[in-house]
Amino acid sequence: MTVRAFFQTAKVETVKPPYDTIYLKILYPAQMSGRHTENNLGIVPADRQKAPFPVVIFFNGFNCEAHIYQWLAVKLVERGLVVLTFNWVAEDFPGVVNMTPGVDITTCKPGIYGTVPTSSALPTLLAKLEQLQAEGILAGMLDLERVILGGHSAGGRVAIENANPVFFPQVAASFAYAGHSMGGTIMGYEPGTILPLPDSLPMLLIGGTRDGVIANSSDRYGITSGDATTSITRTFQEAIAGGRNDSYLVFLEGANHFIIADPFDFTTGRAFIDFSTTQTPEALRLLTADIIGLFIDAHVRHQTKAFHELNRLLNDSNPLIQSWQTK
């Protein structure tokens, strides 16, 4: 499998300059051809034999650049998916400029949450996919009825909150690493509030037992447990009803908040409040990629073999899996 990528930009019409531009990197399965444009410009055609490609839109955590998730994007492209990652510098909070996953803070308030999308980036990204379907390297090769939303940390929350076919009928599933749906007290929620999530599509929540960022952010949600797993566990238990056996909760033994980042960037964000891992980060990343890839193959692409492989992987007494459940 040859994995290639190209770059695009997109304007967010609802945002004022200079913060209205998203920079995208689209990774795709390619087929080397030896053509002039390939050898001189590096433009490699997509592998038509593997089309149409379901698309993963991956939302970064706050102040996390897209390239730290490229290892995961490559693993998913090797399974025959197209993956869209992006960098967007914006002023989500007054006076604070971040690398943002694209969340509209105003939609997260009590009385508004759940009635409109919380993602300020997703409408623009979906429109860009329509453009890519119409022209360019991937023209006619995208499966825009099977878009998967995934993300890390706050980006994971954006993914699972907006996997709602009422707002975005293109979306087929969602996944999050280190994401949960607790309501912040600064937004006006009572301490310990778990906000409901859309509940009609497959969803995968993955967390780490050594997530220091979640543990050390408990005060944001009015809880004092300082626990790495409670907020994700309660999200799975309380935010969705389930009942279809296509929603999963997996905890990785010894994984911290940033094992999904490679290379790890210690210069931005709140990495300094994370705990150290107690297992090999590379092994945890490979396991994470396998779980996400099999989840998509089983519940979006409806591959029976992948469904059995996912269950086998989770039931195989792997020392890197602390616990898992489905509903």
Provide the mean pLDDT of the chain: 95
Instruction: Quote the CA–CA distance of 14 and 190 in Å, as a whole number.
Output: 31
Instruction: Quote the CA–CA distance of 201 and 299 in Å, as a whole number.
Output: 9
The reported pLDDT for the residue numbered 189 is 95
Instruction: Quote the CA–CA distance of 319 and 327 in Å, as a whole number.
Output: 23
Rg for the chain (alpha carbons), in Å? 19
Q: Where does residue 61 rank: exposed (0-12), middle (13-18), buried (19+ CB within 10 A)? A: buried
The reported pLDDT for the residue numbered 290 is 98
Position 111 pLDDT exceeds 90:
yes
Q: What are phi and psi of 223, to 5 degrees?
A: -120, 155
- pLDDT, tens digit (0-9, with 9 covering 90-100), for 161-214: 999 999 999 999 999 999 999 999 999 999 999 999 999 999 999 999 999 999
279 residue type, one letter: Q
Residue at token pair 């940033």: 258
Domains, the chain, with CATH or none: 2-326 (3.40.50.1820)
Residue at token pair 């994007």: 73
- pLDDT, tens digit (0-9, with 9 covering 90-100), for 286-323: 999 999 999 999 999 999 999 999 999 999 889 999 99
Instruction: Assign 226 a pLDDT band (cuts: 50, 70, 90).
Output: confident
| Residue 163: Cβ within 10 Å count | 27
| Average pLDDT score over residue span 131-143 | 98
Residue 90: how many CA atoms within 13 Å on its side-chain side? 23
Q: Are 10 and 24 in contact (CB under 8 A)?
A: yes
The reported pLDDT for the residue numbered 76 is 98
What is the maximum alpha-carbon separation in the chain? 62
Predicted TM-score (pTM) of this structure? 0.97
Instruction: Assign 1 a pLDDT band (cuts: 50, 70, 90).
Output: confident
- pLDDT, tens digit (0-9, with 9 covering 90-100), for 34-46: 777 787 778 899 9
Residue from 110, 224, 107, 98 nearest 158 by CA? 107
Work out the angle between the directed axes of helices 304-314 and 281-299 (0-180°, nearest 10). Answer: 140
